Structure 1
Amino acid sequence: MMRWQQPLVIEGAVRTCSGCGAYRDWIVFCLRDESIWLRCRAGHETREPSLDAAWYNRNSGPVDRWHPTLEDGLRHLGH
C-alpha cells in the first residue's frame, strides 16, 4: 500500500470518492491478485479497475515493510 496525496487522475479525469467526494489523500492498495483498491481518508474503499499492478509498480517507492493486516498497514501510514 502507498499514500497518494495529490489528486488521482485516471484516463484524464480526477478520481473522486463515491461515498464522500474526496479527491486527494488516497491510500492505494495493490493486492496479491493484482487488483488495485483505493481508500479515502473517511475509510470508503473501492476497487479501481482502470489501474493495474504495472501502474502501481511504476508509481510506488520501494517496499519498506509487509503488513500482516490491513489495520497494521493503515497505522503505519498514519490513517
Structure 2
Amino acid sequence: MTTNNPRPRVVVPGMLPGDDPLLRLQAEAEPDTSRIRVTTHVDPIAISGITVMCLQCGARRDWMVICDVPGRVFLRCRCAHQWHEPELTRADFDLMIGDPGQKYPSLDAVARDTGHDGTMAGTYLPDALDAGTWG
C-alpha cells in the first residue's frame, strides 16, 4: 500500500555545528550524581574550633574538598598533599558546595585545573581576588 504523503518513521533532531551525537548520547546517559564530587574552598576550615592545617606545607586555606560515595571527605592542599578528614561528613561537604560547576573526566583533571596538583604549591591569591578580574 502506498500513500501520496509518506511520513518518515524516525525524526532526527536538528544538529548544531560541532554537535556530536555520540557525545550528546553520553551526556544524556550519564547519571546526575557522580561517584566522586569535588569543590574548592578558599576559606580556612575549622573543625571543633581548630583550623585545619596541611601537615606537609602548613597551608591553612585554599582547599580542594572531595566527597566519595560512602560519604568520606578528603582535603587536598595546593602542594598536592591529600588526606581523609574523618571529622568532616557528607553534610559538611554539602554545605561547602555551591553550583555543580564543570564536570571533569577524573580527579587528576580537577586537581590540575584548580591548581591542586602541586604546581601551585605555596601560591595563594588574596582573599578578595576573584578569577577573571584581572584586566
TM over 0.5, yes or no?
A: yes
TM-score for the superposition, normalised by structure 1: 0.87
1:33-72 matched pairs, under 5 angstroms: 33-72=70-109
Equivalent residue number for residue 65 of structure 2: 28
Q: In the TM superposition, what is the alpha-carbon distance from 1:64 to its structure 2 partner?
A: 2.2
Q: In the TM superposition, what is the alpha-carbon distance from 1:68 to its structure 2 partner?
A: 2.5
TM-score for the superposition, normalised by structure 2: 0.54
Highest Rg: 1 or 2? 2
Equivalent residue number for residue 54 of structure 2: 17
Q: Which has the higher contact order (CA 8 A, sep 6+)?
A: 1
Unaligned runs of 5+ in 2: 1-37, 117-135
Unaligned runs of 5+ in 1: none
| Aligned Cα root-mean-square deviation (Å) | 1.4
Which has the larger strand fraction? 1
- The 4+ residue runs of structure 1 with deviation greater than 4 A are none
